Amino acid sequence: MPRVVDAEQRRRELAGAVWRVIRRDGVAGASVRSVAREAGTSMGALRHWFPTQDALLHFAMTLVSENVRARIEGVVRGGGPPAAQVLAVLEETLPLDEERRAEGEVWLALTARALVDDELAALRDRAAAELRQLCALVLDALADAGAVRDGLDTELETERLYAVLDGLALHALIRPTTLPAARVRAVLEVHLAGLRDTR
d(CA 35, CA 184): 33
d(CA 192, CA 147): 9
Binding mask 152-191 for a second copy (x = CB under 8 A): -x--xx-xx-xxxxxxx-xx--xx---x---x--xx--xx
d(CA 52, CA 46): 9
Q: Which of 125, 106, 96 minimizes the C-alpha distance to 61?
A: 106
Binding mask 27-56 for DNA (x = CB under 7 A): --xxxxxx------xxxxx-xxx-xxxx--
Length of the chain: 199
Number of chain residues interacting with DNA (CB under 7 A): 24
**Residues in 27-56 at the binding interface with a second copy, rule: CB under 8 A:** 27-29
Q: Taking CA 92 as the corner, what is the angle to CA 111 and CA 169, rounded to the nearest 5 degrees?
A: 45
Q: Which residues bind DNA (CB under 7 A)?
A: 1-4, 7, 10, 29-34, 41-45, 47-49, 51-54
Q: Which residues bind a second copy (CB under 8 A)?
A: 23-29, 105, 108-109, 111-117, 121, 124-125, 128, 149, 153, 156-157, 159-160, 162-168, 170-171, 174-175, 179, 183, 186-187, 190-191, 194, 197-199
